[in-house]
Structure 1
């Protein structure tokens, strides 16, 4: 059986009390490190990105005594470059890690059980079923959202962000050579700014939903979620159903 396949459907237990606490090692150290570094970078990017789009009021005194927007932009650029490097490392780990490390970059849309699991998870989040299914990695709904919103969204933000950065670095810079093609798709630089800013809000909303879902699952589904990204182990607590 696939390591990421459904390992139990406690809806089939029909109220029986099963005493069991199963633990499966899911998230390897590089994945966990990337997750928390990425979370820190996104937090900085959300705050500084908002301030860049909606600058704070001017400070009093001599302009030469302040570097407010300069510090904000530096933090944004540094967090963006750090996130891009770790995202590249995360992609490389797809070829070196366990099956769970691969979920972020592909979705098995050709599998019937994926769509069946997706429908069941949608009902679970809508409080239409009493018990969830248990998965070693991401459940199908989370899998779908992580790929189409987070992964593709992050790639879009990295490409548009570095394209905008290349304008300040100059036409002959490495950034312009690597990401200048973005302006072939969006010739108007302001359009790139706008889409990049909209992407910020999409990922910000996604992050809020992600945190809500993790906390909800940790409490309601009897599966460890938050602690799994610290220890790497997912615990299935079937002592109460």
Structure 2
């Protein structure tokens, strides 16, 4: 096997990936609590004594808002590195090309264990990734916009209401904005679960550095990736 080790992920992209991941996890779990406050377990702190222990809705909301600002900063940083680095730019699905549909078929059959990984082609960004990653970026942008639209309601006339206040009317009011914010958050988490499955699967079956690449930046390919020119 003429394996080739290729530098795929820049330091900036790797830092962004982990900061983005942590921010999303904090936002998701604090968001669940904000939407439905709870105190778990028989040894948990009862609501009556929660304030004394510092476990307050105000505290949880502050963590949520801080993570929201981190997510926003990370999103802006991602756009900047995509503009200035060919390796970090977003790769979109080339739906007008036959090889896109061939690649989408191949990768789908591999993920459901119908086709062996030794068959088909190698991709730096396969058709599945090219399809779903742009959608995830759009969902993150949607979460930022709807989140700050709701956040701005506590400060009428401020910066965020003037920037994203129109979303409240566009989506049918505060309640519907909240519900869309909630639904899209779950879509992002579902993607994250599938993403972890795909990464672990690749690492376990192919031993190609799929998991470690987000630390080292390098992946190992058995064949020359057909889209190598997109990152080199």
Q: Say which of 200, 208, 216 aligns to 1:231.
A: 216
Partner of 1:189: 174
Partner of 1:85: 73
Cα deviation, residue 205, structure 1: 1.0
Secondary structure of 1:103's match? coil
CA distance in 1, matches of 2:151, 2:170: 16
Contact 1:34-1:90 at 8 Å conserved across structures = yes
Q: Say which of 101, 124, 137 aligns to 2:110.
A: 124
The number of aligned residues is: 215
Structure 2: runs of 5+ lacking an equivalent: 40-45, 224-232
TM-score (norm 1): 0.83
Deviates more, 1:138-147 or 1:172-181: 138-147
Partner of 1:159: 145
Q: Say which of 85, 94, 103 aligns to 1:97.
A: 85
CA distance in 2, matches of 1:111, 1:169: 49
1:53 matched to 2:35: yes
Pair 1:222–1:135, CA change in 2 (3 A): farther
TM-score (norm 2): 0.86
Contact 1:166-1:176 at 8 Å conserved across structures = yes
Cα deviation, residue 63, structure 1: 4.8
Cα deviation, residue 112, structure 1: 1.9
CA distance in 1, matches of 2:171, 2:79: 27
Map of 1:123-142 to 2, 5 A cutoff?
A: 123-131=109-117, 133-136=121-124, 138-142=125-129
Partner of 1:28: 10
Contact 2:50-2:56 at 8 Å conserved across structures = no
Partner of 1:221: 206
C-alpha root-mean-square deviation of aligned residues, in Å? Answer: 1.9
Pair 1:62–1:212, CA change in 2 (3 A): closer
Partner of 2:131: 144
Pair 1:35–1:63, CA change in 2 (3 A): closer
Contact 2:202-2:210 at 8 Å conserved across structures = yes
Contact 2:153-2:161 at 8 Å conserved across structures = yes
Contact 1:163-1:176 at 8 Å conserved across structures = yes
Deviations 1:55-74 (A, max 9, x none): 02452348577451111111
Cα deviation, residue 184, structure 1: 2.9
Secondary structure of 1:38's match? helix
Secondary structure of 1:94's match? helix
